[in-house]
């Protein structure tokens, strides 16, 4: 039997981790076509922390306030990705049944930072491979989906040279792995403590501080910049003819920028697609892709996870385990 309430972390305003409150919320059963899941683990992604803090690229503040809420998040329960167990299904749902282990990617709809999460059965929801550890399943969707979106837009080809700036982050580490799987030659820029980690992912590692930018004599077919380290003018000087700059953390100016001299800038929000989640789950099941985990924290320490995400020093995803749950 489902409980009548659930605990959830709610953002009462825009701001630091201190705006998060643990509240008791009503828990309604799933409606027609819906699936209700008990959350076993979630993450605090860059999307979560940016929405909580309204820390957005230049020019995007008014747009994102209109989308997510003027004075506070319209949906106070953040959480763009999670893994859990199906607790109940609504009428007409045949794809999942009670007890199924799943991976959910609500994305911009949020909702994963709670004891239970609800999603459409036809949404971005896939079976969790039995081979996947809980923390890896929780961290599969956001970084991997973002990386797949931008590499798809770039039309990456085998043998091309790819530079990933911020290669030890959630999105950066996914970019390194997926570009390598596509047959690209990948160089990953990171800080000195993370060089061995980036090398283990399959990239040639380079230290930010030893060489803040690659020498101008090098030319890259694709520069992926989840760190927001470059602007379009600087990126152009590093691109080969026909090169593509993936402005993943782009402001309004980058979205409006024009392509120059046969070189292209690709910016804008990443698509959130079911087929990407399915592909990532398949790759993870075979061991070809593994989400990078920074640390694992308990449910009651979720504000600490936000603080870690704010620090800019995390390596991969900060995973938060679901709240203890009793069926009685």
**Distance, CA of 143 to CA of 174 (rounded, Å):** 6
The CATH homologous superfamily for domain 142-267 is NAD(P)-binding Rossmann-like Domain (3.40.50.720)
Express each pLDDT in 256-267 by its tens digit: 777 877 899 999
Neighbours of 54 (CB within 10 A): 18
pTM flag (> 0.85): yes
Express each pLDDT in 173-186 by its tens digit: 999 999 999 999 99
Contact (Cβ atoms closer than 8 angstroms) between residue 184 and residue 161: yes
The SS3 call for residue 149 is helix
Express each pLDDT in 219-269 by its tens digit: 999 999 998 889 898 999 999 999 999 999 877 766 777 787 789 999 988
Find out if CATH 3.90.180.10 is the number for domain 5-140+291-321: yes
**Distance, CA of 102 to CA of 171 (rounded, Å):** 22
Contact (Cβ atoms closer than 8 angstroms) between residue 193 and residue 218: no
254: its two tokens = 């980058």
Q: For the residues 314-324, what does the mean pLDDT come to?
A: 93
pLDDT of residue 213: 72
| pLDDT score of 135 more than 90 | yes
pLDDT of residue 312: 87
| pLDDT score of 326 more than 50 | no
What residues does each domain of the chain span?
A: 5-140+291-321, 142-267
DSSP code, position 158 = T
| Confidence tier at 298 by pLDDT (50, 70, 90) | very high
**Distance, CA of 161 to CA of 239 (rounded, Å):** 10
Q: Which element (helix H / strand E) includes 296?
A: strand 293-297
| Confidence tier at 215 by pLDDT (50, 70, 90) | low
Average model confidence (pLDDT) across the chain: 93
> What one-character-per-residue DSSP string does 222-267 give?
EEE-TT----HHHHHTTEEEEEEEEETT--HHHHHPPPBTTBEEEE
Express each pLDDT in 52-82 by its tens digit: 999 877 767 787 788 888 889 999 999 999 9
Question: Is residue 326 packed enough to be buried (19+ CB in 10 Å), middle (13-18) or exposed (0-12)?
Answer: exposed
């Amino acid at each position: 039997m489902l409980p009548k309430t659930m605990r959830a972390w709610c953002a009462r305003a825009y701001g630091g981790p201190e705006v998060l409150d643990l509240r008791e919320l009503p828990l309604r059963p799933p409606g027609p076509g819906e699936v209700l899941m008990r959350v076993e683990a979630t993450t605090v992604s860059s999307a979560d922390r940016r929405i909580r803090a309204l820390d957005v690229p230049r020019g995007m503040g008014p747009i994102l306030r209109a989308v997510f809420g003027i004075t506070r998040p319209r949906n106070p329960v953040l959480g763009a990705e999670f893994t859990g167990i199906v607790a109940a299904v609504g009428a007409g749902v045949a794809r999942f049944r009670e007890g199924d282990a799943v991976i959910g990617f609500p994305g911009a709809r949020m909702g994963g930072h709670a004891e239970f999460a609800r999603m459409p059965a036809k949404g971005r929801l896939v079976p969790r491979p039995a081979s996947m550890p809980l923390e890896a399943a929780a961290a599969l969707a956001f970084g991997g989906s973002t990386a797949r979106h931008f590499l798809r837009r770039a039309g990456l080809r085998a043998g091309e040279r790819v530079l990933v700036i911020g290669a030890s982050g959630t999105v950066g580490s996914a970019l390194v792995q997926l570009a390598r799987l596509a047959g690209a030659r990948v160089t990953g820029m990171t800080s000195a403590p993370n060089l061995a980690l980036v090398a283990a992912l399959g990239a040639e590692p380079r230290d930010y501080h030893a060489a803040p930018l690659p020498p101008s004599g090098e030319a890259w077919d694709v520069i992926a910049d989840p760190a927001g380290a470059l602007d379009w003018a600087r990126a152009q000087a590093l691109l080969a003819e026909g090169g593509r700059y993936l402005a993943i953390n782009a402001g309004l100016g980058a979205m409006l920028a024009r392509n120059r001299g046969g070189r292209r800038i690709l910016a804008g929000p990443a698509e959130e697609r079911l087929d990407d989640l399915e592909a990532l789950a398949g790759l993870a099941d075979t061991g070809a892709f593994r989400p990078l985990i920074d640390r694992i924290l308990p449910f009651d320490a979720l504000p600490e996870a936000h603080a870690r995400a704010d620090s800019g020093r995390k390596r991969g995803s900060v995973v938060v385990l679901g709240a203890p749950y009793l069926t009685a």
